[in-house]
Amino acid sequence: MPSRKAISLTAAAAALTLGLTACGGGGENGGGGDGEALQYGYVLPQTGDLAHLGPPQEQAAKYALQQINDAGGVNGAELPDFLEGDEANDAAQANDAATRLIDGGANVIIGAAASGMTQAIMDNVTSNEVVQCSGSNTAPGLAEEDETGYYWRTAPSDLLQGPVLAEKIAADGHQSVAITYRADDYGEGLANATADALEENGISVDYNEGYDPNAPNFDAVVGEIANADSDAVVMVSFEEGVQIITGLIEEGVNADQMYATDGLNDETLGEKVDSGNPGTISGFQGTAPDVGQDEFMDGLREFAPDLEVFQFAGQVYDCMMVTALAAEQAGSNEPSEFVGEMEAVSKDGTECTTFEECKQLIADGEDIDYQGVSGPINFDENGDVTQATFQVYGFDDEGAHDKVDAITVP
């Protein structure tokens, strides 16, 4: 078992002394100990400005649950329906949702989607000895903040994505870049990781400033970027980035000079920028954690045919699989028992790709190495993935989204 992921009695005692919450999913009030079905919940954005990231994560989780149950469930019992919570990109609401899930007996909470919302709920979840796994938290250092060992993420840190984006910009021949980012942990972390990698590639960073994502407009940001007169522009944005793109185009910045990250990896971006001419964003490019392998994507589309956005679907699916396999490996649905198997099932064993295949290997007494649909998992002792696959996405002359390339690092 990994050293940091061993259960920390000192940290748990300190958390209880601080009175963070009452006993929850993994304790005496829990709903999924030995002899009971493993209970999942999720805290994801059903409303708020990140609501577009909710459906792909919810549907990927439900698709995984169906596949797990089709293979006989976990430890002899099928998984019940999810306990649901809305993070709404609001810290208080997210924490209230997490509390309801804990009180409802959740053993595993999938989410939150936003790194800031995970910071809002992490102490609540982990001090109650409930396993938390996010498929979309990317802020650097986030996993190290958890001292209990119950927080994990299948999304790669921005420290891995920044260099991938920088190398793409360098390969396209740009020599100077302006960076704008939402002023939160996600935006600042990824912007700085990209800036550092650009400078290591000999590219000058003319501008690197944050903005208030709740501002009524972004005219000042657009003006400052345009005045920087750089070869390329990087935006670390969510939905508000649509306004920045529109403003830059009006200022004469071409779409093929613009780059973005996972927050704008949206199949409908062209329509949002210009519904009358989605091809306006032709040449716009970005990087993001890869949504998933083709076979997985085909299955998810069949399972949820109305899905339009797929960002982080593969990572959430992998959260479901690796937590279920850890419980199967431990022979227990009690989080305090199976959390110590999370790292073990992700590496250094017989490779397997489906829950059914991996479950059979466990039954045969073999150590397993679950190969994620989003790329290699290979957890480290902090709960971070050590390898990841990123996609380079772009938009064609019709404004259609396309995966241009896939890059696995390191």
* Predicted confidence pLDDT, tens digits, the chain (410 residues): 333 333 333 333 333 333 333 333 443 333 344 458 999 999 999 999 889 899 999 999 999 999 999 999 999 999 999 999 999 989 999 999 999 999 999 999 999 999 999 999 999 999 999 999 999 999 888 899 999 999 999 999 989 999 999 999 999 999 999 999 999 888 999 999 999 999 999 999 999 999 999 999 999 999 999 999 999 999 999 999 999 999 999 999 999 999 999 999 998 999 999 999 999 999 999 999 998 889 999 999 999 999 988 999 999 999 999 999 999 999 999 999 999 999 999 999 999 999 999 999 999 999 999 999 998 899 999 999 998 889 999 999 999 999 999 998 88
Based on the structure, what is the number of domains in the chain?
2
Say if residue 99 is in the same domain as residue 59: yes
The CA distance from 384 to 18, in Å, is: 27
Say if residue 131 is in the same domain as residue 179: no
Say if residue 95 is in the same domain as residue 214: no
Structural domain includes residue 388: no
Structural domain includes residue 391: no
φ/ψ of 61, rounded to 5, equals -65, -40
Say if residue 167 is in the same domain as residue 144: no
Say if residue 28 is in the same domain as residue 136: yes
pTM for this model (two decimals):
0.84
Say if residue 241 is in the same domain as residue 218: yes
Structural domain includes residue 405: no
Q: What integer pLDDT is reported at residue 35 of this predicted model? A: 53
Structural domain includes residue 301: no
Structural domain includes residue 74: yes
Structural domain includes residue 89: yes
The CA distance from 154 to 138, in Å, is: 9
Q: 89: helix, coil or strand?
A: coil
Say if residue 145 is in the same domain as residue 179: no
Say if residue 151 is in the same domain as residue 188: no
Structural domain includes residue 393: no
Q: What integer pLDDT is reported at residue 29 of this predicted model? A: 34
φ/ψ of 107, rounded to 5, equals -95, -30
Residue 140's CATH number:
3.40.50.2300
Say if residue 184 is in the same domain as residue 130: no
Structural domain includes residue 373: yes
Say if residue 50 is in the same domain as residue 150: yes
Say if residue 135 is in the same domain as residue 15: yes
φ/ψ of 395, rounded to 5, equals -130, 135
- Owning domain of residue 137: 9-155+312-342+344-378
Say if residue 25 is in the same domain as residue 135: yes
**Mind spelling out the 3-state secondary structure of 341-366?**
HCCCCECCCEEECCHHHHHHHHHCCC
